Amino acid sequence: MAPIAVGDSIPDGKLFFLDETNQRQEVFVHSLAAGKTVVIFAVPGAFTPTCSQKHVPGFIEKAEELKSKGVSEIICISVNDHFVMKEWSKQYPDNKHVKFLADGGATYTRALGLDLDLSAHGLGIRSQRYALVVDDLKVKVANIESGGQFSVSSAEEILKAL
């Protein structure tokens, strides 16, 4: 499947998180994005170095600036389970705006055409690193990284595109 691109409508899909009582909850992407401008970014894996030290912190640090430019939701997706995503989110106690959502089976990631087979590295199926700006379910910006790079999907690059 071809990767999601500018002008495409994002597919709907079910993602998961743990609520404050540690109960699994599901949320549909369209319920988060319909009628709004949202940033959806994904990382190859929770707790991995670039994801944990650069990608997520950048969106947390720039969240207020993104919000001031009309972004309603900032969503981080990873092909990890909802327990891992909850624990990973705890590493960022200052986070007020980034939602950590799990795509444990890579179902949504595959629907976007952004799955990545890292089995040879012991990681299984993961997500490519990317950042999308979506306005009322239509992709306005699709910054998709090549290989293991981190150059176009940062919060700074998304701010430049808004």
Is 51 one of the catalytic residues?
Answer: yes
* Cα–Cα distance for residue pair 130/82, rounded to 1 Å: 20
Active-site hit among 29, 33, 40, 51: 51
Q: What are phi and psi of 136, to 5 degrees?
A: 45, 50
Find out whether 79 and 125 touch, Cβ atoms under 8 Å: yes
> What is the 3 state secondary structure string of 11-73?
CCCEEEEECCCCCEEEEEHHHHHCCCEEEEEEECCCCCHHHHHHHHHHHHHCHHHHHHCCCCE
Q: Which residues are catalytic?
A: 51
